Amino acid sequence: MVYLSNPDDGMIRLYNCLAPVYDRLHQRWLRFAGGEAQAALEAAVRVAMNSDTTLLDAGCGTGRFARRLLSEGVRPEQITLLDPSWAMLARSADLPVEKTRGRLEALPFAEASFDIVTCAWAIETVLEPSDAVDELCRVLRPGGLLCLTFCAVKPARSILDQIMQARLAYRRTGRFLDIDTIKAQVSRAVNGDVQIMPSSGPAATLIARRTRF
């Protein structure tokens, strides 16, 4: 496991504190607001994975998605986990995969390192989401797949949506991003088309395939 030398900022310290209860809180979010978006990301990954595919889960949290992939037969050497929070990464200590502590805005990997890059519920937590998007695209190989899920600005469907959005703002664990802005940036970075997967609630999943540098 590789560790950063620079100190944690406030958001990272917050997630370090939330790590022991994060899965419970996040499951509540998925149940009431982001479940369809998460399911769309996971489905895209499962379709694209094969025995030779390498995957980076950037902003992996406690490693729940990697744990599911391993249980479905994906080999540990195919998966790399990255998160800025040491406490979140520690929750995946039992997984026999590569783990790196690093920031989305400055990924510690060479260009074109991975066949699939996933990032779920993370770009909305960084100071400059555009920097994170550029980095996620940089480490993606030509022909590779970017799967991006985030809290998105959408009209509230119900009072429940309003409550969930208010809770996120109150906890200061992230913000809601404009879908069209993120889509346009991803399209420029991968030099290709970006598909917005159907989902309800204040969340979005974007799937893009990189054509060339």
DSSP secondary structure string for all residues of 2-65: B--SSPP-HHHHHHHHHHHHHHHHHHHHIIIIIHHHHHHHHHHHHHH--TT--EEEET-TT-HH
pLDDT at residue number 6: 42
Q: Which of 56, 47, 46, 106 lies closest to 77 in space, CA to CA?
A: 56
Please count the other Cβ atoms lying within 10 Å of the Cβ belonging to residue 192: 16
- Per the model's pLDDT, the better-predicted residue between 25 and 45 turns out to be 45
The pLDDT-based confidence of 160 (bands split at 50, 70, 90) is: low
The pLDDT-based confidence of 5 (bands split at 50, 70, 90) is: very low
Could you tell me the two tokens for 173?
């664990």
In the predicted model, is pLDDT for residue 56 greater than 90? yes
The pTM of this model reads 0.89
In the predicted model, is pLDDT for residue 54 greater than 80? yes
Mean pLDDT, rounded, of the chain: 89
* Mean pLDDT of the region 137-162: 84
pLDDT at residue number 158: 63
Cβ–Cβ under 8 Å, residues 61 and 83: yes
Amino acid symbol at 137:
C
Order the strands of the 194-197 sheet from edge to edge.
98-101, 79-83, 55-58, 114-120, 140-151, 203-209, 194-197
Rg of the chain taking only CA atoms, in angstroms: 16
Please state, in angstroms and rounded to a whole number, the distance separating the CA atoms of residues 3 and 132: 19
Please state, in angstroms and rounded to a whole number, the distance separating the CA atoms of residues 115 and 56: 8
Could you tell me the two tokens for 150?
């985030």
